[in-house]
Structure 1
Amino acid sequence: MVTDTTRRKLLRAALGAAALAPMTSALTACSSTTSATRATPRIIGCSRTAKGGYAVVVAAQDGQPIYRVALPGRGHGVALQPGGTLAAAFSRRPGQYLQVMDYQSGEAWPIRVADPGRHFYGHGVFSADGQYLYVTEGISTTSEGVIGVYQVVPGLPKVAEYTGFGIGPHEAVLVDAQTLAIGVGGVHTQGRTPLNLETMQPALVYLDARTGALLEQVTLADKRLSIRHLSVTDTGEVACGQQYRGEPEQAAPLVALHRRGEPLRQLLANDEQWLRFNHYIASIASVDGYLLATSPRGNCYGIWHEASRELVDIRPLVDASGVGIFQGEWLVGSGSGKVLTVAPPAQVTGSQSPVMWDNHWNVLPV
């Protein structure tokens, strides 16, 4: 087994020169077409490269890349700074780095390596004022959840830690200026190998963003549903996407909605439809009373009517990945490079990009 200390030594050796280089050293402009280099940045997300490497990519609305910032390993989620131009890309769990960059200029900060004995879970979110970054982390030996609070200045000094809310946190979102919601997966892992599937305790938890105090915790009846990916809907509810850790042939509802002070409400579909998602939901976004959720493992995405919770449509999309909102429509990406514009409830147009997008992306502000 590769220990956390060993991973850190290897990563530090690989990144040492890069961390001391000028901030623009990792930037690669994408000049395959004149129109792409002149396009307005609209999308940012992690990706795989054609040569087997990894990068965070800023692209136009049709997915054509404008520039890339190289990453030392596979990335996962990306967070945007409110009122600013910074983005943070997080390494896939159990990750050992996070990368902050200016998404307008492409200038990259020195990489921040995980603290000793810790790993990143692939997600984070900026504070409402953009001055702090809340990052989902774990203690490597136990998977005990940690929210690392980092000051948003070069070097990203950690100024606080929030603990005591569960094992295996994954995505965190800001519900309002004072409140964090966290999808706690409940799974203790060694690397990516689960060790406690029979006793896992997933939950959706709310923390005071200023103090880390636990404000509320809700659970699903089926403890094999690991709560992972989150989004705040246009009506202020938290949508959560699950990974089912039970029997492969068993169907399970994979998306739920929650309003503070109420129980979780699962979205509706029949067993055959839930099985289409292959037990995993990646990205979620809500617009005009409809919710879209992607499944890279199921090679599809689904659309639900929020008020009725009823499934409107399931559409095929190879390696369906990120989703975001632009001008009242969904932008949906895929690991195959396909980029869709979907108007609620299900009107679709598409384009092809050369970017092999990872599971998540963000739509940049106008």
Structure 2
Amino acid sequence: MVTDFTRRKLLRTALGAMTVVPAAGLLSACSMGKTTQPPKLIGCSRTPAGAYSVVVASQDGQPIYQFALPGRGHGIAIQPNGTLAAAFSRRPGQYLQVFDYQSGQEWPIRAAAPERHYYGHGVFSADGNYLYATEGVKTSSEGVIGVYDIKAGMAKVAEFTGFGIGPHEVVLADEHTLAIGVGGVHTQGRKPLNLDSMQPALVYLDVQTGGVLERVELEDKRLSIRHLSVTDTGEIACGQQYRGEPEQAAPLVALHRRGQPLRHLQADDEQWLRFNHYVASIASVDGYLLATSPRGNCYGIWHEASMELVEIRPLVDASGVGVIDGEWLVGSGSGKVLTITPPKQVRAYQSPVMWDNHWNVLPS
């Protein structure tokens, strides 16, 4: 199994000869890249010196502009039918940053309340007027969905609670429904405190009232549901983090259709162990699903209908995945960017950006 230590060693080796675009001053004006290509990708990034930023880049990962963040970022939300984006700090996060991804203009940073933290993800409403953020109560890890009014300057207008502890990613299952990956883990900082009593679940909430519409759980309570994606057939794909014994294998990707149980994608134990108990980003194209594992330094591709694994390929610090014109774009912390035509035709590029776990494709 590839350990986090090995991952960091591989990443340092891959970055040794690279030139990384420096971050701008703290929340200063955007620094411009040299490419003349149109913006297609947006994600959080890191530098070897320990700085963090948001980067807007071309389709092959070349930076167009970037601005600094006050700490490590994680997920990005993109406003439908608008030009805003929101960057969320890595859990337990202390800020979220809204900005215009076309102009680079930043809104005032939104700090977490003293008794709260952000969990790293959020999503805009279908009309783009509200931002939903996963949050938690520091003392209990009680899950909260903070509802922010964009037209009111990011005023917090509601909170949805009562759906579980340790939520992570939230997506729009449809324009009326939020889907939340509830990890079920109570933490102090990043230290887990309740591994023997975890209650992970995939939960659906009404976007207007916050009422629970459906809750579905996996049989193995050590499978913490973390990351979500809506597939091209309308199912919710769930990426898990296994919190059990290090030598034990567990299925790390599942699919769910409303009113049915969660269904695991298939792989052998040895193949699941390649992912080092963690799946980050997920996206589907034309009946195939791709999931990355930065901890496992690899990505996997499955055929959705048969649930069978097509292949696993190595990629140092495999991170974000998105879809453009029927192809996957996969990033990595080493700066490598892959364009993959399903099921497994690959073209590779080198970017000067150390991409973090997630990125988004910008609308055309």
Alpha-carbon shift at residue 354 of structure 1 (Å): 0.6
1:333-344 alignment runs, 5 A limit:
333-344=331-342
Task: Give me the CA root mean square deviation.
Answer: 1.1
| Counterpart code for 2:162 | G
Q: Name which of 147, 150, 154 aligns with 2:148.
A: 150
SS in 2 for 1:27: coil
Q: Label 1:152 to 1:185 Cα distance change in 2 as closer, same or farther (>3 A).
A: same
Q: Whole-Å Cα distance in 1 between the matches of residues 178 and 313 of structure 2?
A: 32
Q: Whole-Å Cα distance in 2 between the matches of residues 335 and 154 of structure 1?
A: 36
TM-score for both structures, normalised by structure 2: 0.92
Q: Which sits farther off after the overlay, 322-331 or 153-162? A: 153-162
Residue 53 of structure 1 aligns with which residue? 51
Residue 68 of structure 1 aligns with which residue? 66
Q: Whole-Å Cα distance in 2 between the matches of residues 198 and 51 of structure 1?
A: 38
Q: Where has structure 1 moved over 4 Å in runs of 4 or more? A: none
Q: Give per-residue Cα distances to partners, 1:87-117, cap 9 Å, x unaligned.
A: 1000000001000111111111110001230
Residue 315 of structure 1 aligns with which residue? 313
Q: Count the aligned residue pairs.
A: 339
| Gap runs ≥5 in structure 2 | 1-25
Residue 196 of structure 1 aligns with which residue? 194
Q: Whole-Å Cα distance in 1 between the matches of residues 305 and 229 of structure 2?
A: 16
Q: Whole-Å Cα distance in 1 between the matches of residues 28 and 118 of structure 2?
A: 21
Q: Label 1:25 to 1:194 Cα distance change in 2 as closer, same or farther (>3 A).
A: closer
Q: Whole-Å Cα distance in 1 between the matches of residues 77 and 305 of structure 2?
A: 28
Q: Name which of 191, 198, 203 aligns with 1:205.
A: 203
Q: Whole-Å Cα distance in 2 between the matches of residues 243 and 164 of structure 1?
A: 22
Does the 8 A contact of 1:110 with 1:154 survive in 2?
no
Q: Whole-Å Cα distance in 1 between the matches of residues 253 and 55 of structure 2?
A: 28
Residue 112 of structure 1 aligns with which residue? 110
Q: Does 1:41 align with 2:44?
A: no
Residue 365 of structure 1 aligns with which residue? 363
Does the 8 A contact of 1:297 with 1:319 survive in 2?
yes
- What is the aligned-residue identity percentage? 78
Residue 293 of structure 1 aligns with which residue? 291
Residue 123 of structure 2 aligns with which residue? 125
Residue 30 of structure 1 aligns with which residue? 32
Q: Whole-Å Cα distance in 2 between the matches of residues 232 and 239 of structure 1?
A: 6
Alpha-carbon shift at residue 318 of structure 1 (Å): 0.1
Residue 8 of structure 1 aligns with which residue? none
- Tell me: higher relative CO, structure 1 or 2? Use CA pairs within 8 A at least 6 residues apart: 2
| Counterpart code for 1:356 | M
Residue 234 of structure 1 aligns with which residue? 232
SS in 2 for 1:166: coil
Q: Which sits farther off after the overlay, 145-154 or 135-144? A: 145-154
Residue 268 of structure 2 aligns with which residue? 270
Does the 8 A contact of 1:257 with 1:266 survive in 2?
yes
Does the 8 A contact of 1:110 with 1:155 survive in 2?
no
SS in 1 for 2:218: coil
| Gap runs ≥5 in structure 1 | 1-23
TM-score for both structures, normalised by structure 1: 0.91
Alpha-carbon shift at residue 145 of structure 1 (Å): 0.2
Q: Whole-Å Cα distance in 2 between the matches of residues 154 and 91 of structure 1?
A: 22
Q: Whole-Å Cα distance in 1 between the matches of residues 158 and 339 of structure 2?
A: 40
Residue 6 of structure 2 aligns with which residue? none
Q: Give per-residue Cα distances to partners, 1:51-96, cap 9 Å, x unaligned.
A: 3210010000110101111100000000000000101000000001
Residue 172 of structure 2 aligns with which residue? 174
| Counterpart code for 1:325 | V
Q: Give per-residue Cα distances to partners, 1:143-173, cap 9 Å, x unaligned.
A: 0000000011474110000000000000000
Residue 325 of structure 2 aligns with which residue? 327
Does the 8 A contact of 2:256 with 2:263 survive in 1?
yes
Q: Whole-Å Cα distance in 1 between the matches of residues 29 and 302 of structure 2?
A: 39
